[in-house]
A and B are shown apart, each in its own frame.
Chain A
Amino acid sequence: EVQLVESGGGLVKPGGSLRLSCAASGFTFSSYSMNWVRQAPGKGLEWVSSISSSSSYIYYADSVKGRFTISRDNAKNSLYLQMNSLRAEDTAVYYCARDLLDDSSGYSLYYFDYWGQGTLVTVSS
Chain B
Amino acid sequence: DIQMTQSPSSVSASVGDRVTITCRASQGISSWLAWYQQKPGKAPKLLIYAASSLQSGVPSRFSGSGSGTDFTLTISSLQPEDFATYYCQQANSFPLFTFGPGTKVDIK
A residues touching B (Cβ–Cβ < 8 Å)?
37, 44-47, 50, 59, 61, 95, 100, 109-113, 115-118
B49 within 8 Å of A (CB atoms): yes
Q: How many A-B residue pairs have CB under 8 A?
A: 55
Add 11 more A-B contacts to A100-B46, A113-B46, A117-B43 (CB < 8 A): A44-B99, A45-B44, A47-B96, A50-B95, A59-B96, A109-B91, A110-B32, A111-B49, A112-B36, A113-B55, A115-B44
**Known contacts A45-B99, A47-B97, A61-B96; A95/B91 CB under 8 A:** no
What size tier do the contact residues of chain B reach? 20 to 34
Chain B interface helix/strand/loop/mixed: loop
Binary contact track B23-56/A, C-beta < 8 Å → 1, others 0 = 0000000001010101000111110011000010
Chain A interface helix/strand/loop/mixed: strand
